[in-house]
Structures are given as structure tokens and as C-alpha cells.
A and B are shown apart, each in its own frame.
Chain A
Amino acid sequence: MSTWNPENDVDLLSGSEDEEELAMKRDYHGREAILFVVDANLQAGGVERLMEALNIIRTAFISGILVNDKDLIGLIFANTKHSPPPLESNALDSIVMPENCAVFLPLRQLTKPIVEHFLEFMGEVETQFADKYGLAEPDGCGRFDLMIRLCIELLEKCGKKLNNAKIAYLTDVSTPHPSSSNHFQAALQKASDLEGKEFEFHVIPMVDDFDYEPFYKEFITLSRAIELDAFQVPDAQMLREILADRKLKQDFLRRCLGHFSFYLGPDLSMSVQYYNYFQRRAYPRKVQILRRDNSVVRSKRVITVQKKDEESEEILHEYQIKTTGGWYSCNVGGKNLRISMDQLNHVRNLHKPRMMLLGFKHRSSLPDVTYSKPSNFMYPDDQSIIGSKRLFRALWERCLAREKIAICLFMCKRKSIPRYVALVPVEAPDKEEEKGYRSLLCGDGFKIVYLPESKHIRHIDMFDWNETANTASDEGVEFFQKIIKKLRVDYQPNLINDPTLDALQSNLLALSLDFSTDSKGIDNLLDSTQQDKRIEKFLPIYEEIFDAEVEPAKKRAAKSVTAGASAPKMPKIDEEQLKSLEFVNDLIKDKRLISCTATQLQLILEHHFGCKMAKSTTKAKMVAQIEELSV
């Protein structure tokens, strides 16, 4: 009746300690929201700049709809002359609408109709935006503080609990008001409101030479409660690019994986937080749909334990258990000892979440290639222990200068596993020099490198591979050097996408919104004609230098029976034979069950004994079961 795979049951011993998963779960306490604000001033120099901004939002809408189905997205225009209501005008009933602002979309979970509405609107912008929205008179300056107030109100009254709310302001004007004006001061004051409510504010400059000095530097540092001299001027073009990916440079305070104390000694600790460099692969959420009316069907696994009276078949008791239920058993001389899940949980709780310094090593001692799990990033947090930041900086600066790494034991949160880590000091790259992806990687802080436990390292004796005959001639090396020269590429992470995801997304878009994307597909990626063409002229030498590969002979030559080979495999059994109980009894009698395949054994169990065992059950167990049942 069901396709149950016991292997999917939650197992305390293996997968459940995924820290990131835990962190993600916490996020379900609220949704993520992003409110786009487009400055109407963008139309001042022609509609192209405005279209560019709307295009960024379009890609953000589409990538958002494809990946995070629960997120809320909104769009308003600032500094407009008119304030036309949104499509669902009653959405603004409880909102005080200031002048020179227009709500296009209050915060909503994106749906197909919303995206269609936006696409339709984009088609009309060139001809109608100036009339319908216009630009605030006389100087294109609407009140910035009122606009922020509107944003806050929209976010607060969106009807959903928010976990992470961001305002992205797309503009090309470096200050909303002249610095001497009262409005300027009022605008700055709004920054503390944002800070108190934990709303992030991002300005996305639509011009490359954007000046943060007059207003936004101060506004942003105030809204994040960081020092003025800690502000780093971002690269405008890059901001636009990553926003189109529906990402923003994330605020360090809000999106960490967790806080913990870092002990440098028995009685000396500072508070820090840690982050991941990338998230798990986000695929569109797969669901089951009722064919009739497209409603979403949720499925839930239920495990029921029953006890039946042997004679009357009457159910004596019945109860449901969770996937985390049950217990572990260990056999001690015929007696089974039980270890409850609780007790095993206790084992995890033996350790307190924290990090502890064990010592320092030179940076060069860390092996060139070592890997256990993806690294994290660590940054101080002055919230819990005041003064941590300075201590952190001192440690970081000295480690950098002296090329030291700190070796620590790290338990990131309750019920996880303590791990040995190396803290490698890293520094934000110089923004002027480094414009590539590395500038996006991280800032000043420690990289947490997880060290493999000794049992995770496999010791392979390569004796059977290692022969002097393997050594290639100098021509061979030269040949590959030429090939390398011809086939060099620059690594640009933003050009490499997950082909499976790409294909799925373009199919989904084609199915629902009826537009095609320029996804190339994996077959294209695997196509090697280009490569062939580039190295064409070297290929003749290839065959001269290197011998043709000869597959080594398979080791398992059949032994003759006289040489003591195992009994020949029995003739193939077909399903019909297995359905005969007589045949099966013969197998049992002759102890030949073990030569059946696992699938065949499953079939015997199900067909003759009405018993279904977990797919992962070993053959030996199934044989024992059959033998037992057949008596």
C-alpha cells in the first residue's frame, strides 16, 4: 500500500546533525521579505535607466518564484508625482499613504498572476510611466523619511511573521535632500527606527560612480549600528548583478548560523557568531498535486506499532510512533540491552555549545588539501559579551601578522557533534584592486576549517598502482602543457550554474509563464567540439607519444571445479518457480536460499509468508526469517 523506505527514517547517528538544516528550521519561525523601492528619478534622464532597474526586479521576481516559494516580495515607487493604487487597492486600507509614493505591490508571496501582472506592467512603462506616476515636483524630492515610514508600515502590517526583512532602494541620486535641510535630519533619524526594528536597508546605486558620502554612508551605518569607519564602499555594478540574482549583500548581524562563546582560557571568553559561505542547493519545492483541482496534497509518514492476540487476531494495543521513536539495541551475551533515543541524545548533550582554544600552529602546517565539510566564517559579536570585538581583533591581527592558525574544539549548538577546527585569519580584499568574485567572499575574520578526524582519513597503500613505468617522457609533459595553454579559462563562478536546476527551471517557466529562457542545457556543456577544434593540431602527436590504453584483464577468471572453485551457480530461477511453495520448500531444505538474490528473497517472503522486510535487510536475515517462518 505504501512505498516506504525505512532508510529515510531519521537516524540520530547519521544525518541529523546538519547544522545548517537546524539553522534553516529556525527560519521557519518567520518568512523572509524583500521590499523593492524604485526612485522615480531614474526616469529623469530617459526611461532606459528605469527599465534597467525594473529588469533587475524582474529577474529577482523570477528567480525568487523559482526557489523560495514562501518569501514575501513588494514593490513601491518613491518620489512620484501621483500615487495610483495597487491592483488590490484595499490592501492599503490600514496604511497611511504619504505623498510622492506609490505602492505597486504590497508584500505578497509571489504567485503566477502577480508575476504576470508585473510583466504586463513592464510592457507599458515606456509609454505610460511618466503620465501614470510622474516625478515629484519641483525637484524630484519626495520626503525620504515618509517613504521609510511607509516601508516600515508595509513590512509590519504584511500579516505574516517576518524573520528577515530587507528594503532595497534603487536610485541614482546620492542624497535625498540637501544636507542643510530639516528633511535631511529627519531622514537620518529614520535609520535608528530601522535598526530598532531589525529591518535591513540597502541602497542599490543605478550609476557606477555613486557617492555614499553625502548621505548613505551615515544612514547605513546608523541603520546597522556599526561604526562609521567600519563602512566599506561596495561596488555598484556588483550590487546590481547580485540583486538580479535576488540576493543582497547580507547583513552580518541577522543571518548568522549561530552565536557562541569562544574560550581562550578557563575564565576568558568572547562572544562570536558564525556564517556559511554558501547555502544548500535550493531546488523548487516538489509537491504532490491533486489532479482534479490542483490542490496541494501533503503527505506524512505514519509508523504504527500493533500487538495482536495470537489466536483471536484481536488487536491488543496499537500506537503510533514518531520517526525519532524506537530504540537501539545491543546484544550482550543473549540479552538485549536497550539504549533509548533519549539516552543517545544525552550523549550529544554531554558537551556544551562553545568553542575552546587548544593551541596555535604555523599556517604552513595545515595540509594543502584537506577536507571534512564546508568551511564557515567567524566574526565577533559585541552583543552578548561587550568588548569581544577588540579582543577578537587583537587575536586576528596577531595571527595574521605572525601567520598563525588557532586550533580549537568547536561545538556549534546543542545536540551537534564537537569537532576540531582550525581558525585561519582572513582579510577583506582591497576593494580597489580586487573586483572579482573574491571581493564577495567575506570580510575580516577567521575562516573555520573543519579538520577531519583520524577515522575520516583513509590510508590507502598505493603499492599496486605505483610503478616506475608510469613515469611519462618529457614530450608527454610538453604535450599536456600545450593542451593546457590552449584550453585555459578564467574561473568565474557566476557563469557556472547547476545544469539540472537550470533545465528544471526553464521547463517550469515554459510550462507556467510561457516564456523560454536561454538555458543551454547540460548536453551543450558536455559538447566537446569547441575543445577539439582548439587542440586539433596537437592531436596527431598525442597518438604518437602515448600508447593506446589497454584495459587490464579482469582478475576473476573462472576456476575449474577441480581447482576447488565454489559450486557452480544454480540455474536461473524465474518468478513463476518462486511462486510455487513446493519449489521454495525445496530450496529451504537444500539450504540453497542463500544463492537467491535479495529481490527474490523479498518476493518469497511477501508471496508465501505475507511478510515484508525493510529493503536494507541483509540476505542472511531474510534467509533466517524464511527458514523460521517455514517451520
Chain B
Amino acid sequence: MASNKECLIIVLDVRTCAAEEVKLKAAKCVAEILKDKIVCDKKDYVSFVLVGCDSNKDDNRGKNENHKAYPNVVRFGDPQLCNWKLLLDFFAFVNKTACEEGQWLDGLQAAMELQDTAVSFKTARQRILLLFDFNDFPQDYEMFNEITDDLLNKNINLIVGTHNIAYIDNAETDQPQAIFNFSRKCGSVALENQKHVLSLVPRCNATLCSFKEALLTVFKVTNRRPWVWNAKLHIGSKISISLQGMIAMKNQTPVKLVKVWAEDDETVTREIRHFIKGTEVTPLPEDLMAGYMLGGTPVPYDDTLLEPKEPHPPGLHFFGFIKRNAVPDEYFCGDSLYLLAHQKGNKAAGVKLDALVRALLSSDQAILCWKIFSAKFNRPNMVVLLPRLADDNHPATLYMLEVSYTAQHHFWDFPALRTTKTQCSEDQLDAIDQLIDSTDLECSLRDTQQPRPWSQNDLLPFDGLPSIFEQNVMDVLERKVIKDNDRDDKVLKDKKFADVFWRVPEPLEEKSKRAAVGVKKLFPLRFSRAWQEKQLAKEQAENGVQVKQEPPEKEIPLPSDGVGLTNPGADFTRILASVSSITNATQRDARFQALAADTRVVILTLMERKKLNLNELGEIIKLYRQSCLDFNAFLEYDKFAEEIKKVAVAKNHSGFWQDVMVDKQLGPLVLGEPTLDDELALKAYYTVENWEQEEEMEN
């Protein structure tokens, strides 16, 4: 069977002169690679080479004692399968005593020797990942040509990752190309180093990339010998084409963990028990027969009694040619997308498929046919075959997708969205346009020819979406392994694991946030109290007695059920009541903080208005001030009071200041009986001297 395991040797820069950033990122990069290989149970072999150690003696040299020694280069040992132990060992290994010297070409040579020892593993791929800081320290390039030729001859794939990489689009190929970031600080030695690294690309097909891309490149492996499903496409009884189907996309998790049911000294037995209306019975196997429910009536149905049928002939059986877009993609089902090519080496089949695909494309048609996977998996499925024209990299092929049956389809009755009630104003639509423009993942980049820090002209390319669940599992396991801890659940509460994914790509973050604020201002939205109550009641009804044990998070409205602009006072009182009802003190305080932050924003926003609603403002500030007393949040309020003052002065809201702040005495909080100092401070706060001047100036 085709094996797709690889041997990967990672060369790391540990020289003292290398940038800390490079060393940290390199170690992180290696950890990610190892984690992935461990958790997905890959059978790949890995080893490491350090460049820049103060010795050149390997720790645990494998069988090949006669490895040549290179100055300042240390090998980890023979390539081995990945496990958690290896990860821990790597963390220790990478912290070896370092020095300033070290040649990356020596590291490469050591890595190639390790690859030689790995030939016996019969891997499908050999790769070397070089993570290095090509800085202003001289390197010896005498052997450069020899080594790069050697890499090419041995068919070893080299990936080079470093930090100061940017991307531009190659004018000829229109493909992204890596270059070094231009920097004034760059000395002549560094330029020489960079020149050599860049020439690795044409000399031995190396991939030069940033750390992030290096990781993606390591993970992205092309497969020359995929698993194939051999089948014939029959059109009528005379025309048939031998095809090979392979999986192009499949929704499956590669995470493999060992499931254990019991302790080592315990035995596990599994059995099936039988019940009739809740009472356990022990029928003999011959007493039981198979059947189906026909409504409420069980109907015996013995497959064996019916005439046993010949299995349907496996393969693809033609049903009809249909318009290319006749089957709506909404009706696609199944868990994978197949690609059908002609049978490898079967030239006649290749020619026929090419003719068929071209004919389909020229007449804008697709094929509908019955798929019968094999004599064993014999249930026919309706599939649609979509043509794909041949190009330089692949022959003419067909995509194959399963189609759902009409009996499964839902027919919804959705009311039209365009009604008078949902009519939007020009401003509102503009705000949405603003949001779309400021969160554009592609266009803003396409216009510029500037080098960019990421490879594609897209901040979220479709072929680079991370597997979040897998990443979480890996990270959590890593944390547990490093901490060597069975039960520590704190790890799991770490929000960082999740939060990295829930954000707009960084370059757009600020812009999109501003646009969202713009949208929020124009679209009145508020939480429906009735609905929340209904949900709660429903939940309580469903959970029955267990209501009391309900996790506290559920019954408390989320902080985003915030204080609205229309009726802030009422909102605040309501939410505060629910916050106060939380029994857990830490949680209560956290909720209050969130509410307070919300409220401050609301107050400041209300103060932005041209015409101030003094009653409203007075009410909400007073309520907030009182709550700060109750929650011991003095400092916060004092700070905020200063802020109010600043805004009021800047906006020249003298009326507001007198009627609300001064008359209602909403200044900084004072604990107990005010001292003289307190009194003076308050007086200073309430006094604003330069109103009149400004008013006069205005007049």
C-alpha cells in the first residue's frame, strides 16, 4: 500500500547572536509541528540539528557513531517517531549552551546525513526545515554549490523559515514571492547572507518563507499516491471509461486519541440487554426477529425470507446529462468531495475522459448517475459529476458529489425580507457599506504593490483555514503534558485558546470596529425581555427539578445585553438587579465591571449629542454613582468624574454641569464624613471657571 510517511529534519539557529524573536518563533514552530504529528498519530520520523552550540558533541548519538562532526553543530540523534516525550526532550535540547559561532550550511550537511540514515525507513518524502536568522554574522559559502546540488540530487525538499520576510507578487507568474524586508540597518555581511538564501530557491527548489508560512508549508503535503476508488463509468451498455476516484476534500478530524475504558487490572465486558416496555427479558436469539415500525404497528420483516438478490454491479451508472447548474448546491450531501481521474496508465480511458469533459464544458452540462461503491457497500446513491478541464498540472477530471433525495427536502415558507417595516434609510445603508469596505479581506490589499507580511493577497485565504477544534485539543494536551498534570482543569478555563480565533484579522481590526460602532448608532437594537423570560421558562420546564443546579452563567444576561441609549436608567436598574443576585462574589464583581464599562460608554455617548437630555443623564449618572458606592468602586468613579468634567468643558456643556453635576452633587465619592481636604477637592471639582469666556467668544 502506498505509504505517505516522511522524514523531517529541523535545523534550528541557537547562536547567541541570533535574534530572540527568531529563536522563540522557531521553537514554537517545532512544537506545533510535533504536536500535530503526535495528536494525529502520524508515522513520520523527526529529528533536530542545532547550529550555534559551544560544543559539537551529540547527546545520544544513534547507531551511526561515525557521523562527521561539524563545529558548533549538535544533532539530536537518529530520526524517530513523534510522541510527547520527544516534545519534552526537544524543549530541553534546544536550551543547550550556545555560543556566537555557527554555520547554517554545516547544519544542513548534518541534517542531510541524518536523512541518509532515514532511508531505511522507506519514507515517501524527505524534508529539511531550516529556521535561521540570516543576520550580520559572516558565514562560509565555500561549499554552497556542492551542498545545494546534493540536496537537489537526493530529492530532499528544503524549507527555509526566517523572520524578516515579506511578499510581493511576481510580475511574470503573478504568484506571491518571498523577499527579505529592506532595512537600513542591514550590513554588507547580512546582504551577502540574504543573497545566498534567495538563490536557494532557484538552485534547489527551496521554499523561502516567514515563520507562519513555514508552518503552513510543512503541513501542506502533496500526495502522489493517494488512495483510489477504482470504478467504471458506464453510459449505455457500450460506452465505459475506467476511472479512479480520490478524495479531494473530506470533513473529518485527524485527531487520534487512545480511548481507555478501565484500569489495567480491570476487565471490560460488553453485552446487549433486552427490554419489553421497560422490563428486562432474556429472549433466545431464535425468539427474536427483525421488523420495521409501520406507524405504531411493528411489522416482521425478515430480509432472509425475501429472495436474496444479486448485488448491484459496482461502478457509476449513467442516468442523464443535465444542465451544469441544474442541481442546486444546497442539495449536495455526504461528507466528502471526490475527484475522478482516468485509470492511471490507461491511455484510452484518459483520452475518453478528456473528450467527455471537453464536450460537457462546451455544452454546459453535467452528469447525473447512480454510484454503487462496491459489492459490499451496495446501496445506490445519486451523484452529480461536474467537469474540470485539464491544465498543466492535472488531466481532465470530474468532481463527484452526492445529491439528496426529494423525500429529504424541506420546503420552507420564508416571508419576504423587503417589507415596509424593515425599510432602511440611506444613512443606514451607507453605514453598512462602510462596514463592508472597512472589513474587506481582499481589495484593500490588491491595490498596492507594497511588500506585505503575508503570502496571499487575502487576509483569510480559503485554503488556509485552521482546524480550531484540533488546535484546541493539541494546545490543551500540550499544556497538560508540560505541567505533567492529570486533573488540573484550570488549563481549560484559559480563554486564550478560544479568543485568538474570534477576531477580525489584525490589519482590519480597528477599522472594522469603528465601522461597527457607526452601524450600531444607526440601527436601534434592543434585547427582548419577554423572549428571555420565555427561554428561561422553557429551560426550566425542560430541566424539571434540576433548575437549581443550573450553571450561573445561563440565567444572567450576557454583558452585551447592555445598557441601551434609549432608556439607560431602566436598563441599568434591571441589569444591576440581576448582577446583584449573583451569589459568587468574584463573578458578581466581574459582571459589575462589565456593566460599569458599558454604562460609562453610554453616558459619554449621550454627552456627545447636540441636545442633551439632562433628566436622562442625571438619572443614569446618579444610578451609576450609587452603584459604585455599593460595589466599592470609588477610584473608578472618581476617574470617570474627571472624564465627565473634561468632556463637559470641551463641549461647553455649562447647563449640564450646573443642573446635573453640581445641583445633584454627582462629583467624586467621599467615604464617611468629609474632611477639609475632601471638601476642598470637591469644590475644586465643581468649579469651572472658563465657561463664560468661551460663551462670550461664541456670541
Contacts and interface: CB of A to CB of B under 8 A. Distances in A.
Contacts of B358: 472, 477, 480
A385 B519 contact: no
A247 B236 CA distance: 36
A272 to B, nearest CB: 12
Given A331-B84, A458-B248, A487-B321, A365 B415 contact: no
Contact of A288 (B238, B271, B288): B288
Nearest to B470: A455
Interface string B635-648: 00000000000000
The winner among A335, A343, A367 for most chain B CB atoms within 10 A is: A343
A278 B410 contact: yes
Nearest to B260: A329
Given A295-B276, A303-B261, A358-B460, A497 B405 contact: yes
A346 B355 contact: no
A470 B416 contact: no
Contacts of B460: 358-359, 407, 420
B668 to A, nearest CB: 28
A300 B504 contact: no
A301 B272 contact: yes
Contacts of A360: 436, 439-441
Interface stretch (B50-58, B128-136, B474-482): B474-482
Contact of A330 (B320, B410, B477, B504): B477
Interface stretch (A152-160, A544-552, A592-600): A544-552
Contacts of A64: 295
B355 A493 contact: no
Interface in A415-459: 417-420, 428, 438, 440-445, 447, 449-459
A609 interface: no
A119 interface: no
Given A13-B257, A305-B267, A297 B283 contact: yes
A65 B513 contact: no
A631 interface: no
Nearest to B464: A454
B462 A4 contact: no
A491 B323 contact: yes
Interface string B316-338: 01111111001111111101110
B333 A374 contact: yes
Nearest to A239: B411
A231 B441 CA distance: 37
Looking at A66, A393, A528, the one whose CB has the most chain B CB atoms below 10 A away is A393
B293 A285 contact: yes
Interface string A397-416: 11100101001010000000
Contact of A250 (B242, B253, B335, B411): B411
Contact of B505 (A358, A438, A442, A547): A358
A492 B215 CA distance: 47
Interface string B407-443: 1111111111111111110001100110110011111
A267 interface: yes
A9 B272 CA distance: 13
Q: Which of A365, A465, A466 has the most B CB atoms < 10 Å from its CB?
A: A465
B691 interface: no
A494 B331 CA distance: 13
Interface stretch (B378-386, B618-626, B655-663): B378-386
Contact of A332 (B85, B390, B515, B517): B85
A522 B380 contact: yes
B219 A455 contact: yes
Contacts of B297: 111-113, 512
Interface in A76-118: 109-115
A441 B298 contact: no
B319 A489 contact: yes
Interface string B457-478: 0111011111111101100110
Interface string B370-382: 1000000001101
B265 interface: yes
Interface string B22-51: 000000000000000000000000000000
B604 interface: no
A385 B520 CA distance: 13
B255 A13 contact: yes
A589 interface: no
17 contacts: A109-B296, A232-B413, A288-B289, A296-B298, A303-B261, A306-B267, A333-B83, A351-B501, A361-B440, A361-B441, A418-B468, A467-B347, A496-B405, A497-B407, A507-B301, A539-B239, A552-B343
